[in-house]
Amino acid sequence: MHSQASAAAEKAVVAPYGSWESPISAAAVSAAGRTVEGLAVAGDGRLLWVETRPEEGGRAVLVKEAAEPGGDAVDVTPEGFAVRSLAQEYGGGAFAVQGDVVVFSNYSDQRLYKQTIGDNSAQPLTPDYTGSVLRYADGVFDPHFCRYVTIMEDHRKDSSNPVTTIAAVTISERDANEPTVLVSGNDFYAFPRIDPIKRRMAWIEWSNPNMSWDKAQLWVGYFSEKGEVHNKICIAGGDPTLVESPTEPKWTSKGELFFITDRESGFWNIYKWDEESNLTVQLYSLDAEFSKPMWIFGVSSYGFLGKDDTSNKIVCCYRQNGRSCAGVLDHDSGSFSELDIPFSSVTNIVSGDGFFYVEGASATLPVSIAKVTLDEKRKTATNFSIVWSSSEDVMQYASYFSLPEFMEFPTVVPGQKAYAYFYAPHNHIFQGSSDEKPPLLVRTHGGPTDEARGVLDLGVQYWTSRGWAFVDVNYGGSTGYGRKFRERLLGQWGVVDVNDCCSCATFLVETGRVDAQRLCVTGESAGGFTTLACLAFRQIFKAGNRKAYFERSPINFVDRFSCPIILFQGLEDTVVSPVQATTIYKAIKDKGLPVALVEYEGEQHGFRKAENIKFTLEQQMVFFARLVGHFKVADGITPIKIDNFDEPSL
C-alpha cells in the first residue's frame, strides 16, 4: 500500500479504482500549466524570466522579480507583444538583457524589438517581412560593436528547408536594418557567445543528419576591425577519432572560455579551453550529465559566481540516477561542493554575486524559480526562497498527492535495465478493494531524448487521485543516463522505446501492482509516435491517447491496431502536419475500431491554451473509463462522440 495511505486506510471509503472523487480538477491542472522559457539577470541584480500563460491563450510574457522579497513581480512586456521565438519551431532563447535594456523576439511577427525595462514601448530592430520568414533566437549583446548577435533562421527561399546563420543586428540606430551575416555554411548554429575582453566569439555548430547531442563542434572566431568573423579555430568536435557533442560555451569576465562536452566518457562534463596550447582541460570528471539535449535555445546549466565573475567558482548542476544535484565547482582545484536545496530536479541556472537563481522542482514542489544565497566561501546555501511558482496554491491538494517511486525494470535485452517513475493511486478519502488492481496509464515522454523527472505535476496527480496508477517511462534513448543509454535509440526509434514501455507495464503487472486487463498508454510529440507504435506492434495495451504529432506513422500497419484510440491535434502544428492525424483517424475508423479525433484551432506543437489543456485531460479520462476501465468517473464530464462505439444520432 502507498505509504501515505497507510495511516488513513482504515477510515477510507472503498470504491472502484478510477471512480474516486478528487478536487484536482482538469481546470486546476490547466491553471497550474504556466511554464518558464528563459532566465537572465538584469543590471540591478534582479531576475527576468519568460512566463507562458495558458489563461491568456498561451501568451509568453517577460517578467521581472519584485524589488522587495514577498512583493509582486512586474510584467515587462507591453500589451500586444509576446516574447516567443519560432526558430527551429521549438523556440527558446527569445530575449537577452544588458543593464536595463532588453532585446526580444516578438511572437506575432518574429521581429526583434528593443525595450527599456519600465518603458511600455518597444522599438523594432529588424525589417517586417510578411509571414514571419526571418526568425531569431539565442541572441547576446556585443559590447565591442554596439550590436546584437543572434541565430537567424531565414525562410524566404524555402520554408521547409530554412537557412540558419549567425547574424548581427544594429541596436544603436532608430531605423530597422537588415541583419548582417557573420557565420554561415553549416546546417545549424547555437550559443553565439562573445568574449567581453577580446574581440572574439564562440559558437556551436552541427550538420545534418546529426542532432546537436549526437555530434557537434565548438568554434571560436576573431572579429576584424569591421566586426567580421575571421581566423576561426575549432576548439572541440573537430577530431575525427572522437565523437562528442560540445554545448553551452561561456566566457568569464576575464576572457576565459568554458564549455560542456561528452568526449570519451559519454557524459556531459565541464571543460575549459587553454588558449595558449589550444587544448581543453576537464575540470571535474563524473559519470553524470551536466547539461541536456538542446531541443530549445537558451539552455543554461551553469554560471560564474562572484562580482563580475572574477572568482574561481562555478555554480552548476548535474543529473545522475534519476536525481539532480546542484553544487559549486572550484575550477582551480577541481573540487565540487554539493548544495543542500529542496529541488530534486534542476533545469536552468543563472548566477549573480554570491547568489544564483535556479529553475527546478521536486516530488512535493511544482516547477519553480528559487533564489539561493551562498556563504562567503561559496560552499553552503544560506538561504533558499521561491521567486516564482507554476502553481502557488498547489499545496491545498497535498493530502491527495502520490509520491513517485524511482524504479529500474528489465528490458527485453538480457541484463539490461531501463528506468521509470511509478505513482501508486492515492486519495486520503478513498481506497480500492482488496480483490481489485488499479488501471495503469503509461506516459511516453517526448523528444524522444527528453526525460521524465519524477516531480510534482498536477497532470499526474489528476489520475492518481482518482484511483489510477501512473508510470513515467525513461526508455532507452532518454537523456540523463549518458550517451550509451541515449544511443540505444539510434536507428531503433519505434523499437527500443516501444519494447521498454511494454516491458515496464509488464513488470508492474508481474509485481502485482496493476491490472493486466486495464493498461493504457499516452504520449505527445515524439511520445505520440511511441504510443501509436505500442498500439500497432504490441498487444499489451488496451487503449491509447496520442496528443498530436508523430514523425513516423504506423499507418502502413493499421491492420495491427486492435484497441481504441483518441487523438488530439493542433491545427497550426508545423512540426507534424494535421493531415497525419486525420489520416490515421480515418484508417482506424474504417477498420471498425473505436476512435475519436479532437482538433484545436490556433494550437501548434504543444497545447498552450487553458481551455484546450482542460478539455484534453477530461476527454482522455472519460475515454479510458468508458472503453477500458468500465467504471463511471466521479466528474461531471460530457464525453465526445466515439466513432464505432457510440450509437449514431438520429
The pLDDT tens digits for 486-508 are: 999 888 888 899 899 999 999 99
Say yes or no: 363 and 418 in one domain. Answer: no
Say yes or no: 418 and 373 in one domain. Answer: no
Say yes or no: 360 and 495 in one domain. Answer: no
Mean pLDDT of the chain: 91
* 3, pLDDT greater than 60: no
- How far apart are alpha carbons 360 and 455 in whole angstroms? 9
Last residue of one domain, picked from the residues 390, 411, 436: 390
Give the mean model confidence (pLDDT) for residues 214-230. Answer: 97
Give the mean model confidence (pLDDT) for residues 211-229. Answer: 97
Cell of 617: 485531460
Alpha-carbon distances, residue 56 vs 34, 52, 59 (angstroms): 10, 8, 6
Q: Of the ranges 133-147, 253-267, 567-581, which one carries the lowest mean pLDDT score?
A: 567-581
Say yes or no: 517 and 539 in one domain. Answer: yes
Query: Does residue 181 lie in a domain region?
Result: no
Say yes or no: 505 and 599 in one domain. Answer: yes
Confidence of residue 121 (pLDDT cuts 50, 70, 90): very high
**Over the stretch 232-259, which tens digit does the pLDDT of each residue have?**
999 999 999 999 999 999 999 999 999 9
Query: Does residue 134 lie in a domain region?
Result: no
- How far apart are alpha carbons 623 and 526 in whole angstroms? 22
Instruction: Give 65's strand partners.
Output: none
- How far apart are alpha carbons 362 and 404 in whole angstroms? 10
Q: pTM of this prediction?
A: 0.92
Query: Does residue 248 lie in a domain region?
Result: no
**Over the stretch 330-354, which tens digit does the pLDDT of each residue have?**
988 989 999 999 999 999 999 988 8
Query: Does residue 169 lie in a domain region?
Result: no
Indicate the number of domains in the chain: 2
AA letter at 76: V
Confidence of residue 9 (pLDDT cuts 50, 70, 90): low
Say yes or no: 384 and 399 in one domain. Answer: no
CATH number at residue 517: 3.40.50.1820
* 634, pLDDT greater than 50: yes
Q: Where are the beta strands (DSSP E) in 363-508?
A: 368-374, 381-389, 405-410, 417-423, 430-431, 440-444, 469-474
Give the rounded percent of residues in the chain with a pLDDT score beyond 70: 94
* 50, pLDDT greater than 90: yes
Confidence of residue 11 (pLDDT cuts 50, 70, 90): confident
Say yes or no: 456 and 550 in one domain. Answer: yes
Tell me if 591 sits within 8 A of 570, measured CB to CB: no
Q: Kindly list the strands in the beta sheet with 35-41, ordered across the sheet, starting from the edge strand earlier in the chain.
A: 35-41, 47-53, 59-64, 74-75
Q: Of the ranges 203-217, 241-255, 539-553, which one carries the lowest mean pLDDT score?
A: 539-553
Question: What pLDDT is attached to residue 552?
Answer: 44
Pairing, β 74-75 against β 95-98 = unpaired
Query: Does residue 577 lie in a domain region?
Result: yes
- How far apart are alpha carbons 559 and 458 in whole angstroms? 36
Query: Does residue 544 lie in a domain region?
Result: yes
CB atoms within 10 A of CB 475: 27
- How far apart are alpha carbons 447 and 477 in whole angstroms? 9
CA 49 distance to own-chain centroid: 15
* Backbone torsions φ then ψ of 457, nearest 5 degrees: -140, 115
Cell of 52: 507562458
Q: Of the ranges 299-313, 368-382, 581-595, which one carries the lowest mean pLDDT score?
A: 299-313
Residue 375: which domain range?
301-390
Query: Does residue 165 lie in a domain region?
Result: no
Cell of 644: 464505432
Query: Does residue 323 lie in a domain region?
Result: yes
Confidence of residue 105 (pLDDT cuts 50, 70, 90): very high
* 584, pLDDT greater than 90: no
**Over the stretch 352-409, which tens digit does the pLDDT of each residue have?**
888 999 999 999 999 999 999 999 888 899 999 999 999 989 999 999 999 999 999 9
* 509, pLDDT greater than 50: yes
Alpha-carbon distances, residue 576 vs 25, 514, 537 (angstroms): 30, 34, 22
Say yes or no: 467 and 609 in one domain. Answer: yes
- C-alpha neighbours within 13 Å on the C-beta side of residue 535: 33
- How far apart are alpha carbons 273 and 294 in whole angstroms? 21
Last residue of one domain, picked from the residues 358, 390, 422: 390
Instruction: Give 49's strand partners.
Output: 39, 63
- Integer Rg of the chain from CA: 25
**Over the stretch 555-576, which tens digit does the pLDDT of each residue have?**
566 667 778 889 898 888 877 7
Give the rounded percent of residues in the chain with a pLDDT score beyond 90: 71
Cell of 357: 537563481
Give the mean model confidence (pLDDT) for residues 63-91. Answer: 93
Cell of 163: 537557412
Give the mean model confidence (pLDDT) for residues 88-113. Answer: 96
**Over the stretch 445-475, which tens digit does the pLDDT of each residue have?**
888 888 999 999 999 999 999 999 999 999 9
Angle separating helix axes 526-537 and 496-510, nearest 10 degrees:
70
Say yes or no: 379 and 434 in one domain. Answer: no
Tell me if 206 sits within 8 A of 187, measured CB to CB: yes
Say yes or no: 453 and 437 in one domain. Answer: yes
Last residue of one domain, picked from the residues 364, 390, 416: 390
Say yes or no: 373 and 417 in one domain. Answer: no
CA 31 distance to own-chain centroid: 18
- How far apart are alpha carbons 30 and 8 in whole angstroms? 29
- How far apart are alpha carbons 148 and 139 in whole angstroms? 7
Q: Of the ranges 201-215, 257-271, 627-641, which one carries the lowest mean pLDDT score?
A: 627-641
Question: What pLDDT is attached to residue 549?
Answer: 34
Say yes or no: 425 and 504 in one domain. Answer: yes
* 308, pLDDT greater than 70: no
